[in-house]
Amino acid sequence: MLPLLILYQDDRYVAVDKPAGALVHRTTLAPADVPTGEIVLQRLRDQLRHHVYPIHRLDRATSGVLLFARDPEAARLACTQFETHTVYKRYLTVVRGYIADEGMIDYPLQAAPAEPFQSAITTFRRLGTVELAVPVGRYLSARYSLVEVVPKTGRIHQIRKHMHHIFHPIIGDTTHGEGRHNQLFRDHFNSKRLLLFATRLRFTHPFSGKSIVIDAPLDLPSQQLLTHLGWSDHCCPATLPSVNG
């Protein structure tokens, strides 16, 4: 197995490019027999030969920037920034339909059906659109948008739930998405993953006070997909101007 791509590291933190399909760490919801190679925490620990501490999470199906601390104090200080929503996170995604040019979704979410609702805010900006001459349901063609998304809060499945809420589900989302459009991408583009990429993370280094910006590239199949859809200018999200800086 190839080593994880390290995007940033110093004596207190390390960030990697999390592959789609990999778990950040084992949880009570994850099967106990998940191979160690699919657990990012264990892979990175073995790769560095040093204990690391997860700062935040990405959904198993999402790829991109994932930050770890090298010691408990560094973890505590960075976690505080995530908890107070002072960390900037940018995602790239492909959704069904022509989404608005830009907007903000302010829609409270639950972590689970029995849990209380919590504030959840997401801003977005449309980067491109495409219409495919492929019939889906009662329509003779299918429309999609490439979108830059910035979550202001960090609720479970926030971006996926918010895109579903405004009727623009993410392609490849088997929980909150639309099966017929997911199937179209599987059949015509051999795309079997969730098209959600954590492309940038920015936080204030607790020990130096510097602003740390970490970018993750898209994997080659995703770059090829975006190019095929006419979005080659957006294949390298690190070069894009962001919604809010």
**76-106 residue pLDDT tens:** 999 999 999 999 999 999 999 999 999 999 9
59 an active-site residue?
yes
Residue 21 token pair: 């399909």
CA distance 85 to 56: 12
3-state SS assignment for residue 124: strand
Mean predicted lDDT score pLDDT of the chain? 92
- Residue located via tokens 């993953």: 193
Residue 219 token pair: 């994997």
pLDDT tens sequence across 151-168: 999 999 999 999 999 999
* Helix H or strand E encompassing 73: helix 72-83
Q: What is the mean pLDDT of residues 199-213?
A: 97
Instruction: Report domain 6-234's class.
Output: alpha beta
- For residue 32, the model assigns a pLDDT of 58
Of the listed 11, 46, 59, 106, which one is catalytic? 59
Radius of gyration of the chain (CA): 18
Residues 54/68, Cβ–Cβ less than 8 Å: yes
pTM of the complete model beyond 0.75: yes
Residue type, 33: D
- For residue 169, the model assigns a pLDDT of 98
- For residue 133, the model assigns a pLDDT of 96
